Each structure stands twice: as structure tokens, then as C-alpha cells.
Amino acid sequence: MLRALSWILALLAVAIGHYTHTPYGMRIRGFEIFLIVLFGLTAIAATRKPAIAAVAALGLVLGLTREIQFERARQRVESSPIGQRARLGRHLVVGYRSASEAEKWLEEGKIGGIFVGAKNARDRSREELSVELASLRRHGARWIAADQEGGAVSRLSPPLAALPPLSTVAGDLAGVEAYGESHGRDLEALGVDLNFAPVLDLATGLPPALLDLHTRIEERALGADPQQVGDAAIVYAGALERHGVMATFKHFPGLGRVSADTHNFEARVHAPIADLEATDWAPFRAVIAERSGAIMVGHVIVESVDRDRIATRSRAVISGILRESMGHQGLIVTDDLCMAPAFHGPGGVGQAAVDALRAGVDLLLVSYDPDQWFVVMAALLDADDAGLLAAPIADSMLRLESGLSRNHRDHVESAHDRIFSDPRASGAPARGAGVRDASDGARLAGM
């Protein structure tokens, strides 16, 4: 029994060492080496077996190696030229633990945008959070992003009102517009200008995998009909735009056909391109034609396009399909680079970020584990020094500036009239009779 316990402690030391300075070890950040030493010494003292001592020592070596690697990345960033750092940093949207820390990053030009999530909103009033975000804006945040879909993914509720999933009104475009108006008003009042919604993945009836604790697209999708999903997304995005909030259509190339949790596992789409064009990609084509919103790319492999790379680092997917085939010249943002397919892919999170920019992405999201942006930035600096980012960054700069300066209320009416006059739109009012005064969050919450 004692020997078994010693082995467990030694293996725990190895696991902690392996996950030091990774998103999986974030909750014990700062205590990793202490825990490795504690577990290792306890295991060794209990049995004094050389094999157990060797395993415990391996954990310590792994932990110290990762500590050294992270410290080198941090020093690389801190010692970089301010101009170069600011030129690369504008592509980073980063989560934050404290406002003072984020303000420092912004002032020094290390990041371009802020992701405000549940940990920032917890136990805060609307007024307190809006004051904090206004301060971040004054310190240089070019983007303040949130993930407020409604339903299960409502990172800012509370303090914002918790609404049912958008899918509950997706067949009623007047209801969709009211829903979007409620979100738009709330986000505008907080100071958020980029919302990671709506979901364009299709409901396919595919049950989630046993270990799918996060993605669960079947619960978040707006529906199974591509036209209904596209029309609802256009109306919802238009409502956000009227409040100066840019929508983000996600997760291209579509997660409806996969059951794996892309936060932790590789996921592959096996369908041929023709099938994807007719179904999963149809809503994306519709919103690209009508809206100026961003598109979020997910960490899924589309075998018929690129068998070897997740979509976020695939030139064939981003430049080939989204930019050239679909004609999207607006912003493209990655899903969180802390997710396993990106973080644990070839070259780690740093190489994933470099590949994404070179493929045509504009914004790199590092939200769950903010410390990873040091690793990302260090990799970008090295790639920039090697001359690998000059062309993609020049192209992206134009899209970033256009996105920042664009009045998101432009082009709303033409799309609004087209959608609301379409007799195929279930529950749509007559042409020109779209909802102008949205019902409040309390009424929507009661749906």
C-alpha cells in the first residue's frame, strides 16, 4: 500500500512537471515546483526506492525546464523594441486577471485588445465592470471582446441579464432582432465592441462525446436549416451593429459534424467540400455577403481541404476558402489558442500563432490562460526577425484599421429589409416592419 502511494505521488510530480506553465496547470500556477518537490520527497522518503526517486526527479526536471522556457519567453518580450512589440501586439486579444496588469500590458504596446470573461465579471456590478473597461480603453485597448452568446455561454451574466439560448427565437426574426438589441444595449453600456457570437455551426443531431464538457454545439446551434441560421445571424448581427458592437460568426469551418470537445481533443470533419458548401458553409456565405462582422475559426481539421493542419493554422482554409472562395475581407480571429489542438500541436502555441497570422488571421485570441501570450509574442518576435510576417501583417493591418474605423451601423438597413421581406423567413413581419424598439432583457429571459 505504501509503495503504491509512493508511486502515485511520484507520478503526480511528473504530471505537474509536464503541465507546468500550460493551461492545464493554470490553477496551481506559482506552486508547481513546490508541489513537485513536496510529492517527490514524500514518495522517496516513504520507500527509498531508486526507481521512485528517478521518477520524482524526472518531474522536477520537467517542471524546471518549463519554468526556464517560460522565463526566456518573458524576457524575450520584455527586451524587444517597443515599436516591433506594438506592431505585433495589435494582433493579440488577451484575457486578464487584474485591470492593473492589463493596463500595464496595454500601455507598453504588448497587446492590442482585451477579452473580458466570467472571472472579470464575477461579483461585479454593471457599473463597476463598465468603469474598469473604460479604464482599459483609455490605456490603449483597441478591442474589448466578450463571449456573450446567450444560454450556456453567457460569460458576462451576471451582471448582465441571463437570456435563454438564441436558438429559442431563431425561427422568429422579430424575436431574434429583439434579442440582439438586448445584447447590443448591454454590451454597448459596458464598453464591449466585439462579441464572439452568434454560433453558425449547424445542429446535426450528433450527440456529444462522453468527455465533451465545453463545446456541445448541439446545445448552442441556432438550428439545422442553413438558411434559417444565416438569416437569424444576419438579423442578430445587425442589431449589435446598431449599438457599435461587431458580431463574430463562429466556428468556421463548422463544428456541427464533430462530437469531440475541441478544447481538449483533436476533431476532424470528414465530409467532402461539396457537402460542406451546401450545408455547413452556407450560413457563413450568407453573413459574409451581408455583414462586416468578424469570423472565428475553430481548431478542427477539415480533411477534404487540409488533412494535416487545424483550420486556425491552415492557409488552405483561411486564405483559400474564407478569403478567396467566399470573399471575406473582414476580420478573422482564432478560437482560444489555449485549447489543446493549438497549444499541443506542432511547435506549440507559439508556432500555432505564427502559422495563423501567415495563413491570413488578424486577431489571435489568448483568453483562458493569459500568461501564454508571452510565449505567443516571443514566437511572433522570432518569426518577424526572420522576415516571415512582413507580408501577412501588412495585409492584416488594413483589415484591422478598417474594422476599427468602420461604423458597424452601416449596411444594416439593406440586409434588414431583405431578410424581413423574404416570405420564406418563418415568423417575419412585413417589409419595413422590423422591430425598432426591442423588448427588454426581462421579457426575453421569460421566453
* 255 three-state secondary structure: coil
C-alpha cell read off for 422: 423574404
Burial class (CB in 10 A: 0-12, 13-18, 19+), 38: middle
Distance from C-alpha of 236 to C-alpha of 221, rounded to nearest angstrom:
14
CATH topology of domain 82-445: TIM Barrel (3.20.20)
Contact 195, 246 (CB under 8 A): yes
Mean pLDDT of 323-345: 95
DSSP 8-state class, residue 26: G
Each residue's pLDDT tens digit, 243-292: 999 999 999 999 888 888 888 888 999 999 999 999 999 999 999 999 88
pLDDT of residue 210: 67
Question: What pTM, to 2 d.p., does this model score?
Answer: 0.88
Mean pLDDT of 399-420: 55
Mean pLDDT of 363-374: 96
Each residue's pLDDT tens digit, 98-142: 999 999 999 988 999 999 999 999 999 999 999 999 999 999 999
Q: Which residue among the candidates 263, 299, 328, 408 is catalytic per the annotation?
A: 263
Active site residue 183: no
Contact 91, 381 (CB under 8 A): no
pLDDT of residue 409: 39
Distance from C-alpha of 355 to C-alpha of 367, rounded to nearest angstrom:
18
Each residue's pLDDT tens digit, 286-313: 999 998 899 999 999 999 999 999 999 9
Sequence-distant (≥ 6) Cβ neighbours of residue 396 within 8 angstroms: 91, 357, 360, 361, 362
Tell me, rounded to whole angstroms, the distance of Cα 300 from its chain centroid.
13
Distance from C-alpha of 297 to C-alpha of 222, rounded to nearest angstrom:
18
pLDDT band at 430 (very low <50, low <70, confident <90, very high): very low
User: In 100-118, which positions are buried (b, 16+ CB within 10 angstroms) versus exposed (e)?
Assistant: eebbebbebbbbbbbbbbe
Tell me, rounded to whole angstroms, the distance of Cα 48 from its chain centroid.
47
Q: Which residue among the candidates 193, 335, 362, 371 is catalytic per the annotation?
A: 335
- Per DSSP bridges, beta strands 148-150 and 153-154 are antiparallel
Q: Does residue 425 surpass a pLDDT of 60?
A: no
Write out the DSSP string of 88-157. HHTTEEEE-S-HHHHHHHHHTTS-SEEE--HHHHTT--HHHHHHHHHHHHHTT-SEEEE-EEETTEETTT
Tell me, rounded to whole angstroms, the distance of Cα 334 from its chain centroid.
6
* 270 three-state secondary structure: coil
The dihedral built from the CA positions of residue 92, 93, 98 and 104, taken in this order, carries a sign that is positive
Q: Where are the domains of the chain?
A: 2-78, 82-445
Active site residue 410: no
Contact 312, 356 (CB under 8 A): yes
Distance from C-alpha of 261 to C-alpha of 62, rounded to nearest angstrom:
27
Q: Does residue 434 surpass a pLDDT of 90?
A: no
